[in-house]
């Protein structure tokens, strides 16, 4: 084993002892039972909706217990870092309300980027080496690949353990020779487990879990050739969660297999173990089976999909909270938002993301918003993602307000707007800048009516057109024109004497509907006409007359 002096020479001369960091990061003064949770995204990729799900649970659990939730950027894998990932993090955190309670300017437990905490990890790695619990390993990539190949050929578990851990018990002189030659090395943790050892540990969601203990000598500090000597995730997790006084880690179930290693590290470092709760992943129905929601395959896995589509964050959070605790899905949204998520009510089976259900929840939510709020939020979204819609709203703000008000303040309001990107399809026809008048009387949207009938009906409707507030009185103008041009007063009469009529008043009204909206389906025709105004009604109906 290397001497303390030889080990000290591998680290900066002014590196503090672990006791220094224990004093720098005091225990938090919180109520009994308060939970300190964290969300630790890595900028090696963009935030998955599953990350928002876990962060939402973490924040709710912390706050409902009188504790603290914070975000720690786990940026120790510089080689795989994705440009602009952190900007996407900030955008997602703000949109979904999962911003950190703490940051470098308002709390004493930072920095909140692991890349800025390098000396802390080195202090604890040096301490492990002094106590014989960690050692330098000089294997290069080719040597490690050869070990893996040999293990595969022998049908053995892969890893750096037992006789395959060639530097674990290497002679001191051999180690000194490599160090003197300047050979790059990593620092590995000396696992205390035997090959057949098993461990059991509690999980706050899953109960007792039994698992094979970790026997791999995991890397805790990366290559000495790197200027920043950053740690691996496993080591940084143990050191940071201890010093930042986390007492509950809520994370994806894929990390269950890492718990034995994390417990070994906590024990070796002299830290008190913390609680874990492993969340089941969000799932997707794929044919007759379910699978994990995939960043690679599923656009709805990306947080940006929801932001760019314009799903209101409140609707998504209500849906996600209901997936976490089923009782919350049974409550009205306002009541559900005030209720805490309970870890013990999270299931062990992955909940299914149902985009149809989410759209329904989102449409219900939007239907409760006031006209001004809808326009503010659509406008804010459109300025970034759909400038033509923003321009149309800005050009005709009064019309925009009238359009959104159509069939809104009634017992059963319209629910055809599920996300802001639907706005043009639902309301676009109201705006002169987005609507193209129908000029061809033979257009197929008129249902095969002769062109001369369409023009005659349009001309008759316009003759003496009045903008009337009373719906029956207004519609009488459509009815009177239709009767004068061979349409039956009702579908029943048209069906009874098909040779006598061109159709019913329903088909006649469809002609006016198509001329005003460009579609055979629309909100109440009278409400549309009032929102457009008499001049615009006359312009649109008259367009088919040439």
Distance from the first to the final alpha carbon of the chain? 96
- Residue by residue, DSSP assigns 286-339 as ETTEEEE--TTT-GGGBHHHHHHHT--HHHHHHHHHHHH-HHHHTS-HHHHHHS
SS3 385: helix
Burial class (CB in 10 A: 0-12, 13-18, 19+), 313: middle
Which structure tokens are listed for 474?
């207004």
SS3 163: helix
Marked catalytic residue, from 141, 155, 295, 297: 295
Question: Within a 10 A sphere around the Cβ of 322, how many other Cβ atoms?
Answer: 20
Candidates 121, 119, 135; CA nearest to 231 is: 121
CA 84 – CA 227 distance, rounded (Å):
23
SS3 75: coil
Please give the distance of CA 100 from its chain centroid, rounded to a whole number.
Answer: 16
- Residue by residue, DSSP assigns 13-73 as TTPPPHHHHHHHSPPP---TT--EEEE---TTSPPBHHHHHHHHHHHHHHHHTT-EEEE-B
297 is catalytic: no
Give 200-204's long-range contacts (Cβ < 8 A, gap of 24+). 201/259, 201/260, 201/263, 201/276, 202/275, 203/256, 203/276, 203/277, 203/278, 204/248, 204/275, 204/276, 204/277, 204/343, 204/344
CA 426 – CA 159 distance, rounded (Å):
57
For residue 234, the surrounding DSSP H or E stretch is helix 233-243
Active-site amino acid positions = 295
């Amino acid at each position: 084993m290397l001497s303390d002096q030889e080990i000290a020479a591998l680290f900066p001369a002014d590196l503090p002892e672990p006791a220094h960091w224990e004093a720098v990061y005091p225990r938090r003064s919180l109520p009994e039972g308060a939970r300190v949770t964290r969300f630790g995204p890595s900028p090696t990729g963009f935030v998955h909706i599953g990350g928002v799900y876990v962060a939402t649970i973490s924040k709710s659990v912390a706050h409902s217990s009188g504790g603290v939730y914070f975000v720690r950027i786990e940026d120790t894998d510089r080689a795989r870092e994705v440009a602009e990932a952190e900007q996407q993090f900030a955008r997602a955190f703000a949109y979904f309300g999962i911003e950190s309670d703490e940051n470098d300017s308002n709390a004493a437990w930072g920095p909140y980027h692991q890349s800025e905490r390098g000396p802390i990890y080195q202090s604890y790695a040096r301490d492990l080496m002094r106590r014989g619990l960690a050692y330098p390993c000089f294997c290069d990539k080719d040597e490690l690949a050869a070990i893996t190949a040999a293990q595969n050929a022998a049908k053995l578990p892969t890893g750096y353990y037992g006789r395959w851990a060639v530097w674990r018990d290497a002679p001191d002189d051999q180690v000194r020779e490599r160090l003197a030659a300047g050979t790059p090395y990593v620092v590995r943790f000396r696992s205390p487990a035997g090959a057949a050892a098993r461990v059991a540990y509690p999980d706050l969601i899953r109960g007792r879990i039994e698992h094979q203990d970790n026997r791999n000598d995991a890397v805790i500090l990366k290559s000495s050739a790197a200027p920043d000597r950053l740690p691996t995730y496993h080591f940084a997790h143990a050191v940071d969660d201890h010093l930042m006084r986390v007492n509950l880690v809520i994370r994806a179930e894929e990390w269950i297999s890492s718990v034995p290693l994390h417990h070994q590290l906590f024990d070796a470092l002299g830290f008190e173990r913390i609680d874990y709760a492993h969340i089941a992943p969000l799932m997707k129905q794929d044919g007759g089976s379910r699978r994990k929601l995939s960043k690679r395959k599923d656009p709805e896995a990306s947080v940006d999909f929801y932001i760019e589509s314009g799903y209101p964050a409140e609707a998504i959070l209500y849906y996600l909270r209901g997936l976490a605790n089923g009782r919350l899905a049974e409550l009205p949204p306002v009541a559900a938002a005030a209720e805490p998520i309970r870890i013990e009510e999270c299931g062990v089976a992955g909940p299914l993301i149902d985009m149809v259900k989410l759209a329904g929840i989102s449409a219900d939510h939007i239907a409760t918003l006031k006209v001004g709020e809808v326009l503010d939020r659509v406008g804010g979204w459109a300025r970034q993602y759909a400038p033509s819609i923003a321009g149309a709203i800005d050009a005709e703000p009064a019309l925009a307000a009238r359009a959104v008000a159509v069939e809104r303040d009634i017992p059963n309001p319209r629910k055809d707007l599920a996300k802001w990107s639907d706005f043009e399809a639902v309301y676009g026809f109201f705006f002169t800048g987005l609507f193209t008048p129908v000029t061809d009387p033979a257009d197929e949207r008129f249902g095969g009516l002769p062109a001369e009938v369409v023009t005659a009906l349009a001309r008759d409707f316009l003759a003496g057109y009045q903008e009337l507030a009373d719906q029956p009185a207004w519609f009488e103008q459509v009815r009177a024109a239709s009767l004068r041009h061979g349409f039956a007063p009702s579908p029943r009469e048209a069906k009874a004497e098909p040779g006598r009529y061109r159709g019913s008043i329903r088909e006649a009204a469809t002609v006016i509907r198509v001329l005003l909206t460009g579609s055979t389906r629309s909100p109440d025709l009278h409400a549309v006409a009032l929102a457009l105004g008499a001049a615009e009604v006359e312009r649109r109906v008259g367009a088919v007359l040439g």
